Amino acid sequence: MNIGEIARRAGVSRSTVSYALSGKRSVSEETRRRVQQVIDELGYRPNASARALANGRTNTIGLVFPPAGNHYTGMQLDFIGSVVEAAAAHDYDVLLSPSGADSDRSFQRLLAERRVDGAILMEIRLQDDRVDHLGEENFPAVCIGRTAQPEGSWWVGLDHTALTAACVSHLADLGHRRIAFVNRPEHLLRAGYESAHRGLDGFTEAAAERGLTVRTYRCGDDAPAGQECLERILREDPDTTALVTLNEAALGGLYRGLAMAGRQIPRDFSVTGVVAGRWAETVTPPLTAADVPAEQLGRLAVELLVERIGHPDAAPRHHLLTPPISLRASTGPAPGRR
């Protein structure tokens, strides 16, 4: 069944049906009702491909996310969910595109085949050829995170530098002097992951300012890696009394490592970092952390993208968020300083 069939049954032309549906030109109340009735009876819905072909818009946005080889984190999940919901609220569907480092196959398809009206890019790198590519084509896109030169592009992101610095201050205020930083895995750093690099910078600078003794680690995105990493931390400097982490997936393992080493949180050792709130609460004791507002990030990204799709030549906009640290129960005074 198609628009012609509806037109025939309603005794009008196809264009009238189209206009009755879109409201782009006035239709007499009488015909509008007749058309609508036929449509309801037959449960007609205009074919999306035909519509997209005719008016050049797919009403779909692409969500470019890291391939599953990387373990997904809870925060990414929350983010995807909120993007889908926000998109639905704007009458957009969401097409998922797993995409690695380079402008690879699936990603290219999305753009070149015009499957989507715009894209949201997760897991931005400081130098990101996908972003460059998108910029050259002036293709509507919003990045989650910002590249080294974010001026020309649309993005929403977290101020990871400020966030990890805040974590350091919090620990320093509690009297900790020797602290560790648990980052994302080696290969993500080499790839230039924005959050990993800026987070590390913020940590390093803040610690230097406070005159703290630090060690930094890279850690795989899962619990066993976290446990191993913690063992290394205590081996390399047993006097470490606290750590800051960006690695949500390793968190459970870090906790386990501490438990195995007989260090009690927060009495003997403090833990903090940047983690989505819902996941900070799954560990015991609940993690004091800068809560990643995944839901808000998703919503803002969609709003920006929708705006940009509507106004292709608008000036770049962005949102830099700096969520406060939520005090829970994983940090306390440095041992011997209570």
Partner DNA sequence: TTGAAAGCGTTACCAT
Partner DNA sequence: ATGGTAACGCTTTCAA
Query: Which residues of the shown chain bind its own copies in the complex (CB under 8 A)?
Result: 43-53, 58, 60, 63, 67-68, 71-72, 74, 76-78, 80-82, 84-85, 88, 93-98, 106, 108-110, 112-115, 222-224, 251-253, 255-256, 259, 278, 281-286, 295
Where is 242: in which H helix or E strand?
Answer: strand 242-245
**Count residues contacting DNA (CB under 7 A)?**
30
CA–CA separation, 327 and 291 (whole Å): 10
Instruction: Name residue 64's beta-bridge partners.
Output: 97, 121
- Which C-beta is closer to its own copies: that of 64 or that of 158? 64
Amino acid identity, position 322: T
CB of 182 to its own copies, least distance (A): 15
What's the CA gap between 5 and 12, in Å, rounded?
10
Place of tokens 């009403």: 59
**Is residue 42 involved in binding DNA (CB under 7 A)?**
no
- Least Cβ distance, residue 171 to its own copies (angstroms): 23
What residue 284 binds from its own copies, DNA, none (CB within 5 to 8 A, per partner kind)? its own copies
DSSP string, 155-204: EEEE-HHHHHHHHHHHHHHTT--EEEEEES-HHHHHHTBHHHHHHHHHHH
Identify which of 279, 103, 322, 70 has the alpha carbon closest to the alpha carbon of residue 184. 70
15 binds, options DNA, its own copies, none, Cβ within 5 to 8 A by partner type: DNA
Letters for 46-85 (x = contact with DNA by CB under 7 A, - = none) are xx--xx-xxx------------------------------
Neighbours of 175 (CB within 10 A): 16
Q: Tell me: does residue 18 bind DNA (CB under 7 A).
A: yes
By the rule CB under 7 A, 21 interacts with DNA: yes
Interaction site with DNA (CB under 7 A): 2-4, 11-16, 18-19, 21-22, 24-28, 30-32, 44-47, 50-51, 53-55
